[in-house]
A and B are shown apart, each in its own frame.
Chain A
Amino acid sequence: MLNEEKIIQDLCGKFKFLENQIKATRPRRIFLEVPYEHFMEVFDFCVRQLSFTQLCAMSGLDDVEKLSVMYHLAQEGGIVINLKTGVSREQPVLKTVMPYFLCAEIYERELVDLFGFKIEGLPDGNRYPLTDDWPKGEFPLRKDWKPFDQKKA
Chain B
Amino acid sequence: MHHSSKFKIPMGPQHPALKEPESFSIALKGEKIMGVDIRLGYNHRGIEKACEERTFVQDVYLIERVCGICSHSHSTAFVQGVEEIAGLIVPPRAQYIRTLIGELERVHSHLLWLGVAGHEIGFDTLLMYTWRDREIVMDILALLSGNRVNYGMNMIGGVRRNVTEEQAQDILKGVKTLEERTKYYIEVATQETTIIKRLSGVGVLKKDDALRLGAVGPTARASGVEYDVRRNDPYAAYAELDFNVITDTNSDVYGRTIVRVKELLESYKMIRQCLKNLPNGPIAVKAPRKIPAGEAISRYEAPRGEDVHYIKSNGGEKPERVKVRAPTLANIQAVKHMLKDRYLADMPIVVAAIDPCFSCTDRLVSVKGNAGKSKKILTWEALRNYSVEWHQVHGIDFTELSYKFRTKMERF
Residues of chain A touching chain B, judged by Cβ–Cβ distance below 8 Å, are 25-26, 28-29, 31, 53-57, 59-62, 70, 72, 74, 76-78, 80, 82, 101-103, 105-107, 114, 125-131, 140-141, 145, 147-149, 152-153
Contact = CB atoms under 8 A, between A and B. Distances in A.
Given A55-B214, A72-B297, A140 B233 contact: no
Contact of A78 (B46, B84, B232): B232
A106 B331 CA distance: 11
B213 A57 contact: no
B366 A59 contact: no
Given A29-B297, A126-B39, A131-B41, 18 more contacts: A25-B294, A28-B233, A56-B299, A56-B306, A57-B310, A59-B310, A61-B321, A78-B229, A103-B333, A107-B329, A114-B364, A125-B37, A128-B41, A129-B44, A130-B365, A131-B44, A148-B368, A153-B371
Interface in B292-338: 294-297, 299, 306, 308, 310, 312, 321, 323, 325, 329-330, 332-333
24 contacts: A25-B296, A26-B84, A29-B297, A57-B323, A59-B310, A61-B312, A78-B229, A80-B299, A103-B214, A103-B333, A106-B333, A107-B329, A126-B38, A127-B41, A128-B41, A131-B44, A140-B46, A140-B49, A141-B48, A141-B365, A145-B49, A148-B368, A149-B368, A152-B371
B103 interface: no
Contacts of B44: 129-131
A126 B37 CA distance: 8
Secondary structure of the A side of the interface?
Answer: mixed
B46 A103 contact: no
B367 interface: yes
Contacts of B297: 29, 56, 72, 80, 82
Given A29-B296, A72-B297, A103-B214, A57 B46 contact: no
Given A29-B296, A56-B308, A59-B310, A78 B233 contact: yes
A103 B40 contact: no
Contacts of A82: 295, 297, 310
Contacts of A147: 365-368
Interface of B: 37-41, 44, 46, 48-49, 84, 211-214, 227, 229, 232-234, 294-297, 299, 306, 308, 310, 312, 321, 323, 325, 329-330, 332-333, 362, 364-368, 371-372
B371 A102 contact: no
Contact of B41 (A103, A129, A148): A129
B42 to A, nearest CB: 9
Contacts of A145: 49
Contacts of A53: 211
A53 B208 CA distance: 12
Contact of A70 (B38, B232, B310, B362): B310
Contacts of B333: 102-103, 105-106
Nearest to B362: A129
Nearest to B37: A126
Q: Name which of B321, B332, B333 has the most chain A CB atoms within 10 A of its CB.
A: B321
Contacts of A54: 214
B227 A141 contact: no
Contacts of B211: 53
B362 A76 contact: no
Contacts of A26: 84
A6 B227 CA distance: 23
A102 B211 CA distance: 10
Top 6 A-B pairs ranked by shortest CB distance? Answer: A103-B214, A78-B233, A129-B41, A57-B325, A149-B371, A140-B365
A129 B364 contact: yes
Contacts of B372: 149
A113 to B, nearest CB: 8
A56 B227 CA distance: 13
Given A55-B214, A147-B365, A129 B323 contact: no
Contacts of A25: 84, 294-296
Contacts of B49: 140-141, 145
Contact of A101 (B39, B214, B312): B214
A148 B369 CA distance: 8
A89 to B, nearest CB: 16
Contacts of A70: 310
A66 to B, nearest CB: 14
Given A31-B295, A57-B308, A103 B368 contact: no
